[in-house]
Each structure stands twice: as structure tokens, then as C-alpha cells.
Amino acid sequence: MPFIGKVILITGASSGIGAAAAEYFAKKGALLALVGRNAEKFEKVLDKIKASEIDLEPLVILADVSIDAERIMSETIEKYGHLDILINNAGFSIQGTIETLQMDDYDSMMATNVRGVVELTKLAIPYLLETKGNIVNISSAAGIMPVPSNCAYSMSKAALDQFTKCVAMDLAAKGVRCNSVNPGFIETDFHGVERDTDEWAAVEELCAQKHPLQRIGYCDDCVNAIAFLADESANFITGILLRVDGGISTKGAF
């Protein structure tokens, strides 16, 4: 298996896409450094990994990527000695139009969704250069098209997309790839709506109708894309924004 013994650092790994990616790569024999802020959610992730009868116990780092990038990297290297793959997944959204947007919310989103990614990537580069590793950023279809009442979030993901392409160009000649996965509406807790409720059913139906493939996405859809880009079989691919969005970004607006 291509990920056996590979050191993979995943941020935002306590839930959603990050948690699904952690479980996937653990099953593939990777050595994981998992970053998140919620210890209780991490227990559920670790229980799933242990239930798969996997011998390798991940390194769990309780941290905030917007302020703890140096500690995250130092703990990862202290544990494993090197780094093969960085998956920048941590991020959040606070809804608001330009009229209702609070600047504190804007600053918080930019700190996590952009600055934290930039700093952690910068710290990871010396190690990725040694291993000829790669970076996968988890962005959003919102970075490609406007999404109503998501002004700051869409801006942050557009910035992340441009960062992905710039890093890809900066590091290509040195053998390090950088790509992005841009999901549409994915079934996670990210949206602030409790699942298995009438409210969730209504949101899911509405969003499914907006996607040309007539369904919402699932974590596995994104994890399969992440694994493809992180794998050496994609070694001639860098600087792409892989849209895992049911075709919604082709419409130009949500």
C-alpha cells in the first residue's frame, strides 16, 4: 500500500472530512499526526481507528492552527522525525453578508482558514523538501463561486486556492507538489445543523437540488480525492483545484 510508513499531518482531524481522512490513512498504514481542538470528538475518531484493529496509534495534538503552528510542527517532528504529507483541512465558516459581517468574525476566519495554513505550510516545507512530499489543502467550491451570505468564508477559500497555486509554482522545481480539494456541500457537522432532524432533511434536499448530480457530497467523496492527490500515482499533478462538488461550481453560483 502506498501510504505504509508515510508520516501524514492532518489538521481539523477531530470531525468531518479530517476525521474521515484520518481513519482512511490509518487503515492504509500511515503514521498520523492529528490536529484538532476538541478532545471529546477526538475520542470518537480514535475509537473508530482502534475498532479497525490498527496497531499504530496516531499522535493527537490538541491545538489551534491559527496560534499553535510551531508547536504542531515541533511535536510532529519530535514524534516521527520527518514529514511526508501535509493535509491542511482546518477551517470554519460564520455566515454573513457584507452588511452583517462582523470584523472579529472576519479576522477569526482569516486567521484559521488562511494564516494558519500559510504558517504551517511554511514550517513544513523544509521537511517536505527532504522527503519530496506533498501538500493537499482542503478548500471549497465557495472559493471558486460566490455563495450567498458567506462573504468572508468565500474570500478565505479564494485566498487558499491562490495560495495552493503559488506554493505549487514555488516548489515544483524542488519536487514538492501542492494541490487542493474543493468540496461542495458535504454531509458533516460543519454546517451548524444537527443531522437526523427535519431541519437537516430540508437543508439536504435543498442543497441536493442545487448540485447538478442531484445529491449532496459525503466525506468519502473528499477522502478519495485527497488520497489520489497525496499518492505518488499523481506525481505529475500540481497546482490543481480538484472540484469534488457535484458539478455545482460549473453553474457559477450557489
* DSSP class per residue in 196-230: SSHHHHHHHHHHHHHSTTSS-B-HHHHHHHHHHHH
User: What DSSP element (H or E) covers 181?
Assistant: strand 177-183
DSSP 185: S
Task: Work out the burial of residue 109: count CB atoms within 10 Å of its CB; fewer than 13 is exposed, 13-18 middle, 19 or more buried.
Answer: buried
Residue 143 CB-half CA count within 13 A: 26
Which residue numbers are catalytic?
153
- Crossing angle of helices 219-230/16-27, nearest 10°? 50
Query: How long, in residues, is the chain?
Result: 254
